[in-house]
Structure 1
């Protein structure tokens, strides 16, 4: 990656480490200069390793590699800033994956729209045995995205994203609602 930087120097050239008797030898100097040129990107990368691992400072071509490391959700055509934010927030999103908050944040990160996530489950405790249970006995999850322009949120990509990040055992409905208009995509009720 960094080998394509023209004129990249090395902080520790081999020629300067030679004993004086070999330092004046032209052939040895040219051979060692070739090694310096080959190893200069290695020195540069190691000297700046902390910056390579920080998505806000890493070189543009390295950000995509970092995205693969942390399984960040990115899409073709994203700007460098969007990819950096996706990598930066990936670990925090993995912590809340499978929750309503995590699903909403994932949709917001990818599409820039905060959805309404409705689930029917819940937890409660009671000191009285036999009290009513929260939610419904049938699991359900509904993700509703409200947009003015339905082209901003491609339905196939939205559904794929929700399917990949929802709890595996919970059936899910995905809805895109056009602000001040009819429901887009899916069945008559707007479900995909």
Structure 2
């Protein structure tokens, strides 16, 4: 969490901007110095505001807040680098949400491995309203992740992330191999 910076000097001291009648008044100068201590961090944030909006430069706790702006649900167990990259690419990932490509890119960002996806695919239709749905196999997605060290991949974390990305009725299987 961010906090005040000790000995931060205000770039615009209030005491220097007072009318000349107050420049020699000790109380006014002490009072405005106290206000400068309160206002200096605000100036610092405003001067660096563009950096706060870039997830690669923003403070770590602000990245989580930015994730809410881009409708991204971050898992606290992901590393700071992964969370920053996901927020930075959120708009791009939203374009492909619900697609094989979007799922593959999301899993790749979390694991760094090669991702192959096989799904049952397609759409089922019926010529009669409220008729039986054609086909017999339920929707299923098989995700194969190839990484140098499969033991280093947190399967529970990846499974939870995948479950958030696929429709609720779709069964998923995740295989992590070398």
- Calculate the TM-score normalised by the size of structure 2: 0.79
Number of the residue aligned with 1:76: 77
Instruction: Structure 1 unaligned segments of length 5 or more: list them.
Output: 124-135, 180-192
Question: CA shift at 1:10, angstroms?
Answer: 1.8
Find the aligned partners of 1:174 and 1:46 in 2 and give their Cα distance.
47
Q: Which SS does the other structure have where 2:15 is aligned?
A: helix
Q: What is the RMSD of the two structures over their aligned residues, measured on CA atoms?
A: 2.4
State whether residues 147 and 177 of structure 2, in contact with CA within 8 Å, keep that contact through their aligned partners in structure 1. yes
Residue 6 (str. 1) matches residue 6 (str. 2): yes
User: Cα deviation per residue 1:3-60 (whole Å; 9 max; x = unaligned)?
Assistant: 4212212222111121111111000000010001101111111122111101222234
Most deviating of 51-60 and 93-102: 51-60
Spell out the pairing of 1:164-175 with structure 2 (5 A cutoff).
164-169=164-169, 171-175=170-174
Number of the residue aligned with 1:140: 140
Spell out the pairing of 1:5-154 with structure 2 (5 A cutoff).
5-70=5-70, 71=72, 73-76=74-77, 78=79, 80-122=80-122, 137=135, 138=137, 139-154=139-154
Number of the residue aligned with 1:160: 160
Find the aligned partners of 2:104 and 2:76 in 1 and give their Cα distance.
17
User: Cα deviation per residue 1:147-171 (whole Å; 9 max; x = unaligned)?
Assistant: 44332222212211111101334x2
Find the aligned partners of 2:76 and 2:113 in 1 and give their Cα distance.
15
Find the aligned partners of 2:53 and 2:76 in 1 and give their Cα distance.
21
- Calculate the TM-score normalised by the size of structure 1: 0.74
State whether residues 144 and 176 of structure 1, in contact with CA within 8 Å, keep that contact through their aligned partners in structure 2. yes
User: How many residue pairs are counted as aligned between the two chains?
Assistant: 165
Question: CA shift at 1:66, angstroms?
Answer: 2.4
Find the aligned partners of 2:2 and 2:121 in 1 and give their Cα distance.
51
Find the aligned partners of 2:87 and 2:150 in 1 and give their Cα distance.
26
State whether residues 143 and 172 of structure 1, in contact with CA within 8 Å, keep that contact through their aligned partners in structure 2. no
